[in-house]
Amino acid sequence: DVKVTQSSRYLVKRTGEKVFLECVQDMDHENMFWYRQDPGLGLRLIYFSYDVKMKEKGDIPEGYSVSREKKERFSLILESASTNQTSMYLCASSSEGLGNHEQYFGPGTRLTVT
Amino acid sequence: SQQGEEDPQALSIQEGENATMNCSYKTSINNLQWYRQNSGRGLVHLILIRSNEREKHSGRLRVTLDTSKKSSSLLITASRAADTASYFCATDLSGYSTLTFGKGTMLLVSP
């Protein structure tokens, strides 16, 4: 069975802290994605990666960075957390290449920055 | 800006009734996908319809795609309380799996 796991379901951090959100998939997928989900705004793509050590900016990359050192792991980093980064963060993965591929999502991390 | 927009934003029905949700989008697509999200959880893929397909079925789900109108609909037949969730459409513009999601339709199915 396909599995995408995220390191925490709930996280509370203080303003200015460095925050790491980890995502691991066991499907040998090349593509991995980070989204944030906010009420009334839907899902917005932060960053994605097509391969190890490769990253591409999504629609809202400001204030975030990512790391993909291994194929199965994709980390989202908030260098200096701010209150406007309080949100639900969702990780997803999919197969590579041109075609029609669905995304598999993790359970989400609800981050609160105080 | 959002590529896909679902309509209605919220829908409340009784068990056994059918639920129809619509999605409109702005530019040409490679495929369109529907996802379900139970409260506070991750999204689950329901169905993918390619740009050259007009209708697709999966169990109680029926999806249609009208590329001339840039719209899609998701029909859930004989709904159950367990269908209560938010439903999102997502468009794949290039075929390289980067999706753009709409804001979702919240479906409430009452027993």
Interface A-B: count of C-beta contacts within 8 A: 62
Of B45, B50, B101, the CB nearest to A102: B45
Contact A102 B30 (CB under 8 A): no
Q: Where are the beta strands (DSSP E) in A8-71?
A: 10-13, 19-25, 31-38, 42-49, 56-57, 65-70
Residue A108 to chain B, least CA–CA distance (Å): 6
What pLDDT is recorded for position A26?
A: 95
Residue B42 to chain A, least CA–CA distance (Å): 4
Contacts of A99 in chain B (CB under 8 A): 95, 97
Closest CA to B3 of B88, B102, B98, B70: B102
Q: Residue B2 CB: number of other CB atoms within 10 A?
A: 17
What pLDDT is recorded for position B40?
A: 80
Contact A107 B41 (CB under 8 A): yes
* C-beta of residue B90 within 8 angstroms of C-beta of residue A94: no
Of B40, B42, B50, the CB nearest to A106: B42
Residues 78-97 of A with CB under 8 A from B: 88, 90, 92, 94-97
- For residue B40, the 8-state DSSP code is T
- The Cα-based distances of A37 to A42, A44, A69, A87, B70 in angstroms read 5, 6, 25, 6, 25
What's the first-to-final CA gap in chain B, in angstroms? 37
Per-residue pLDDT of chain B (111 residues), as tens digits, is 456 788 899 999 999 999 999 999 998 888 999 999 998 888 999 999 999 999 999 999 999 999 999 999 999 999 999 999 999 999 987 756 689 999 999 999 999
**pLDDT tens digits for range A3-15:** 999 999 999 999 9
* C-beta of residue B28 within 8 angstroms of C-beta of residue B77: no
**pLDDT tens digits for range A52-100:** 989 999 999 999 999 999 999 999 999 999 999 999 999 999 987 666 7
Q: Exposure of A4 by Cβ count < 10 A (0-12 exposed, 13-18 middle, 19+ buried)?
A: buried
Top residue of A55, A59, A102 to mutate, by most chain B CBs within 10 Å, is A102
Q: Which residues pair with A19 in a beta bridge?
A: A78
